């Protein structure tokens, strides 16, 4: 017996829709997914404008649902469960996805399930060509979150460490802005870093030797600002590339060494890396090398599933249902949780 789960993601500046099929005893299968990014719309403002994001989700979500169903060769009547991102994220953007999902569920007489955005990221490598197995250590690195989790199974999460200020993605984006790069800054900084010398500037690695598994990147951003101000007039392109490379090296070193400490502390031999920063090639290369030396397997989402997307929401819902960690509901009343710690799912 199979179940078709429609997933809707609308937590920030991407509208994502996907259809996943589950079969008992098997990893859910992605049938189709579609994504609209708002990068071009927000670029003029240098960051996400919440009201504009919400309005754009309203315009995009229904056409994307139709597109996904057509690509999968399915009709609305074939949907068994409608899943949506309940949080965390921008309140207005979350309400769009939740409202559409619950309205669709009510119209079809199908149950709905609210999903944690970060759980979607955490489980997204299960859709890759090399899916992980439980248990594992998860490094969640995105624009707003940097966390290390011990994962025993679906809904069984223990927080090992997290950022006390800026997340790694924020450090990338804010440093890129200081270097005069475009939005989104993280990918732009990584591209520029390819032409720079990562040892050109000595930048701090906050909390690297703190003895715990927490992160801090605000001090790094300040150091980048201080160095950028030392450039006389406008920096030459090589100076900018060197500072970009040095910044990336500092962020990556902290992420890699903290991840290795988490693996050593838990005794686990499997690492899952998820979230937008997980697409960074320097991070992947250094993690792969360091983990290979220690006999640790590393798993990533496919590159096109690193950013926010509907596939991870449909997947998380499907895996929660399969494992018995959640039961879809049919009352169709909904709320959203702009702030929602992932570890709260373990006791929810």
Tokens of 251: 């962020």
Q: Rounded to the nearest 5 degrees, what angle is found at the Cα of 188, between the Cα atoms of 198 and 93?
A: 130
What DSSP string describes 228-285? HHHSSSSPPHHHHHHHHHHHHHHHHHHHHHHHHHHHHHHT--EEEEESGGGG-HHHHH
Tokens of 275: 């979230």
CATH class of 2-123+306-346: alpha beta
Give pLDDT, residue 24. Answer: 84
Give pLDDT, residue 144. Answer: 85
Neighbours of 327 (CB within 10 A): 9
- 134-300 placed in CATH 3.40.50.10110: no
Give pLDDT, residue 233. Answer: 66
Backbone phi and psi for residue 32, each to the nearest 5 degrees, phi listed first: -165, 150
Which residue from 131, 157, 179, 114 is spatially nearest to 327, judged by alpha carbons?
A: 114
CA distance 247 to 176: 9
Question: Any idea how long the chain is?
Answer: 348
* Residue pair 199/246 in contact by the 8 Å Cβ criterion: yes
Sheet of 270-274, strands arranged across: 156-162, 146-153, 136-141, 270-274, 297-299
CA distance 202 to 177: 19
Give pLDDT, residue 232. Answer: 67
Q: Rounded to the nearest 5 degrees, what angle is found at the Cα of 40, between the Cα atoms of 217 and 139?
A: 30
Sheet of 29-37, strands arranged across: 29-37, 14-23, 2-9, 81-87, 112-116
Q: End-to-end distance of the chain based on CA atoms, in angstroms?
A: 28
Domains 2-123+306-346 and 134-300 share a fold: yes
Does residue 88 have a cis peptide bond before it, meaning omega lies within 30 degrees of 0? yes
CA distance 12 to 145: 13
Alpha-carbon separation of residue 291 from 65, 95, 121, 164, 211 (angstroms): 40, 40, 21, 26, 20
Give pLDDT, residue 162. Answer: 97
Give pLDDT, residue 246. Answer: 98
Going from N- to C-terminal start, the domains of the chain cover: 2-123+306-346, 134-300
Which residue from 223, 241, 230 is spatially nearest to 180, judged by alpha carbons?
A: 241
Give pLDDT, residue 203. Answer: 97
Give pLDDT, residue 73. Answer: 98
Does residue 321 have a cis peptide bond before it, meaning omega lies within 30 degrees of 0? no
Give pLDDT, residue 346. Answer: 66
- For each of the chain's 348 residues, which pLDDT tens digit applies? 899 999 999 999 999 999 999 998 888 999 999 999 999 999 989 889 999 999 999 999 999 999 999 999 999 999 999 999 999 999 999 999 999 999 999 999 999 999 999 999 999 999 999 999 999 999 999 878 999 999 999 999 999 999 999 999 999 999 999 999 988 899 999 999 999 999 999 999 999 999 999 999 999 999 999 999 888 666 789 999 999 999 999 999 999 999 999 999 999 999 999 999 999 999 999 999 999 999 999 999 999 999 999 999 999 999 999 999 999 999 999 999 999 999 888 654
CA distance 170 to 176: 10
Give pLDDT, residue 46. Answer: 86
Give pLDDT, residue 210. Answer: 94
Tokens of 137: 């250590």
Give pLDDT, residue 264. Answer: 98
Give pLDDT, residue 167. Answer: 94
């Amino acid at each position: 017996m199979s179940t078709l789960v429609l997933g809707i993601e609308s937590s920030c500046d991407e509208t994502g829709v996907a259809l996943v099929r589950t079969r008992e005893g098997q990893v859910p299968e992605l049938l189709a997914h579609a994504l609209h990014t708002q990068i071009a719309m927000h670029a003029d403002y240098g960051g996400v404008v919440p009201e504009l994001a919400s309005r754009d989700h309203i315009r995009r979500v229904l056409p994307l649902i139709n597109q996904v169903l057509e690509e999968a060769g399915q009709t609305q009547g074939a949907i068994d469960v409608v899943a949506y991102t309940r949080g965390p994220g921008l309140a207005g953007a979350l309400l769009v996805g939740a409202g559409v999902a619950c309205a669709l569920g009510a119209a079809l007489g199908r149950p709905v399930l609210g999903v944690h955005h970060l759980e979607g990221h955490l489980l997204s490598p299960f859709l890759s060509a090399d899916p992980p197995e439980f248990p594992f250590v998860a490094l969640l690195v995105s624009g707003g979150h940097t966390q290390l989790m011990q994962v025993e199974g679906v809904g069984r999460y223990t927080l090992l460490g997290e950022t006390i200020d800026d997340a790694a993605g924020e450090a990338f984006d804010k440093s890129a802005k200081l270097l005069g790069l475009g939005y989104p800054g993280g990918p732009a900084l990584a591209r520029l870093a390819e032409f720079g010398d990562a040892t050109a500037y000595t930048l701090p690695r906050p909390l690297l030797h703190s003895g715990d598994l927490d992160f801090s990147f605000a001090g790094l951003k300040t150091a980048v600002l201080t160095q950028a101000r030392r450039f006389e007039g406008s920096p030459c392109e090589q100076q900018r590339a060197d500072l970009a490379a040095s910044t990336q090296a500092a962020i990556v070193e902290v992420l890699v060494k903290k991840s290795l400490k988490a693996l050593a502390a838990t005794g686990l031999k499997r690492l899952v890396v998820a979230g937008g920063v997980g697409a960074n090639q320097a991070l992947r290369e250094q993690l792969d090398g360091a983990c290979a030396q220690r006999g640790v397997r590393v798993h990533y989402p496919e590159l096109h599933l690193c950013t926010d997307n509907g596939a991870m929401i449909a997947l998380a819902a499907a895996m929660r249902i399969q494992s018995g960690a959640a039961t879809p509901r049919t009352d169709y009343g909904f709320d959203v949780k702009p702030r929602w710690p992932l570890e709260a799912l373990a006791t929810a």
